[in-house]
Amino acid sequence: MISLEFNFNILTRDLSHYLENQVKVGLFGSGVGLSLVLGFSAAYTCYYLISVAKKPQLISGGKKFYQFLREQCPVVSETYYPTFWCWESRIQTLLRPFVTAKPGVVYRNELIKAADGGQISLDWFDNDDSVSHPDPCSRPTVLLLPGLTGTSRESYILHMVQQSRDLGYRCVVFNNRGVCGETLLTPRTYCAANTEDLEAVLEHIQRTNEAAPIMAAGVSMGGMMLANYLGRKGRETCLKGVVVFSAGWDVFECTASLEKPLDRFLFNSYLTSCLQASVHRHRPVLEKCYDIDHVMKAKTIREFDERFTSIMFGYPTNDDYYHDASPVHRLKSVQVPMLCLNAADDVFSPSHAIPVEAVKQNPNLALLITCHGGHIGFLEGLWPRQSTYMDRVFKQFAKAVIEQGSRLQDLS
């Protein structure tokens, strides 16, 4: 014991001597500087643990769905610890594409015909090495819908494919028209309000694998499209369950939030340029019906929608389109179990527009709200390369729907 105490005293003395000679802060000597560093670190840690790391809020319109989630998806009850050096909303949103790994996925591409003569690009991950579901005829299928300008190559999509592969499931990514390199055959792209292409895709998937259960996950605009589809179809769908991430529930509030100066600079202008780039790639077929020069002068998403999207889909005004595209108006009609994950600090979907009261009125709906996470961020861990909170929610809910789905057949 004496030897250990002696060695510890020597180590403490040597460490203090090293810090006094090596740490130069220039403020009344290194001792004060070290004290400031330690004090700031302690204060930051306390602030993080008290104000940043919190359990999410789980809201459901029915006790049965609520209990199901608590039992089958423990992640909904766990404290969410955002990455301590980048928990702020905008930083999470901006960094996710750069810090998260992109798992290697080899897709099988399929082009299917749409009713108007156009084509839709599907990227399949068949998972033929599945141990838990070796029969391809009955292997569960997960349909994935990316965000506004996203494709099957987005990191958040690749992570969900990886999670599905681990579970033994098949995945298929529904790429919106014209975004994934395929030729646009007709002067039509996509929007959050129109679900005709989604319906065609689901019919095709069901015909291809009639014995396989199907669930779906949508991210951002993909989630909005899914919610609008479920609101229109009620029980007339092959989907066993749906999970939606970072959806914008009221498009008027979403666009207003993104038009604030900082968010317009960080996000709005960039997304507008991405939409315009897609239009430019398909200019030869689109310019026959639309004033592309006028579209290319748009500075915001709202201006782009006024000049292009709302016109393409036949709305009298852009306000009419935004009302129709807002899933909040259709939540009461959803008849399939749907879990929705939103961050309260998401500038794309502001917290005051998250439909808490609407969810409480429908036993088929559940809403999971984290204090932090940004838009499709949800980074966690010291260096969030492999998995995010959103990935864990997806994996647990997908497994619960596929393997315990019989418990969700009557949630009323």
Q: Residue 100 contacts by C-beta under 8 Å, 6 or more apart in sequence? A: 155, 156, 159, 379, 384, 385, 386, 388
- Is residue 263 annotated as a catalytic residue, yes or no? no
* CB atoms inside a 10 Å sphere around CB 211: 9
Could you confirm whether 333 is annotated as catalytic? no
Structure tokens at 82: 């955002």
CA distance 352 to 411: 27
Selecting among 159, 282, 372, 375, the annotated active-site residue is 375
Q: What is the DSSP letter of 171?
A: E
Residue 172: its H or E element: strand 170-175
Find the catalytic residue in 164, 220, 326, 349: 220
- Count Cβ atoms below 10 Å from residue 310 Cβ, excluding itself: 22
Residue type, 277: A
Of 346, 349, 372, 391, the catalytic one is: 346
Burial class (CB in 10 A: 0-12, 13-18, 19+), 26: exposed
The whole-angstrom distance between residue 320's C-alpha and the CA centroid of its chain comes to 26
> Whose CA is closest to 176, among 300, 323, 282, 314?
282
220 is catalytic: yes
Sheet holding 365-370, edge to edge: 57-60, 365-370, 338-343, 239-245, 214-219, 141-145, 170-175, 119-125, 108-113
Which residues does the annotation mark as catalytic?
A: 220, 346, 375
